[in-house]
Amino acid sequence: MRVLLTGIVLIGLQLVPGVTLALSDNPLAELGVAPWRHADLVHTTYEPRADYLLGLGPMRKIRGQWQPRESRRVIGVLARATWLVRSGYSAEDGLNSLVAALGAQDDNTVEELFRCQRLKCGSSGEWANRVFGVRELYGSDRNQTFVALSVRTGEIEHVVVIYAVQRSNMRQYLHVDRVTAVPPESGSQ
């Protein structure tokens, strides 16, 4: 199930007993980080139970299929947002600002899982379409940055992916995926 959010929405969601997440148009709100102020929200999506392919290597064609060279699956709640960066600012600066803000939160333990820049990320079109499903993120392979982070807040693990890209029309986009891992369901009685 995908839900497209527009405007500011705040919903409480209980995943497991004692753990409630708030859903807003900012996927990093749960982690104490505000959206980057030099960009305007384009769209957000939310999936309460996502099977997320976390890219941990550059996008390559492997056995005829485009996929990250290394990856792992994360099952959890997916919150996703894309912003258009305002003229005069850099999407890469936005990415670095968000990474720094995540690390600056006292309650967060941040581990970088993978980072790439420019051509070392592989095909921008494949990241945009196959991984994120956001056509606006298709840009120049020479003007992209991708970072995957593990962010722990207490016992809860969040996987955060931040992607910055410049399109051929010089528009720059900043994209964030946050997947809050859901523990495997135990058998019902």
Q: pLDDT per residue over 121-147, tens digit each?
A: 888 888 898 889 998 999 888 999 999
E-strand stretches of 17-91 = 19-23, 39-55, 59-62, 65-68, 71-85
Burial of residue 29 (number of CB atoms within 10 Å: 0-12, 13-18, 19+)? middle
Residue 149 pLDDT greater than 90, yes or no: yes
> What is the rounded average pLDDT for all residues in the chain?
82
Q: For residue range 21-55, list pLDDT tens digits in order.
A: 444 678 888 888 888 999 999 999 999 888 898 88
Q: Are 111 and 150 spatial neighbours (Cβ–Cβ below 8 Å)?
A: yes
Percent of all residues in the chain with a pLDDT value above 90, rounded to a whole number: 46
- What is the C-alpha to C-alpha distance for residues 46 and 91, in angstroms, rounded to an integer? 23
Per-residue confidence band for 106, with pLDDT thresholds at 50, 70 and 90: confident
* Three-point CA angle 146, 149, 154, nearest 5°: 160
Residue 156: pLDDT over 70: yes
5 pLDDT more than 70: no
Give CA–CA dist 165/177, Å, rounded: 15
Better-scored residue on pLDDT, 174 or 106: 174
Confidence of residue 185 (pLDDT cuts 50, 70, 90): low
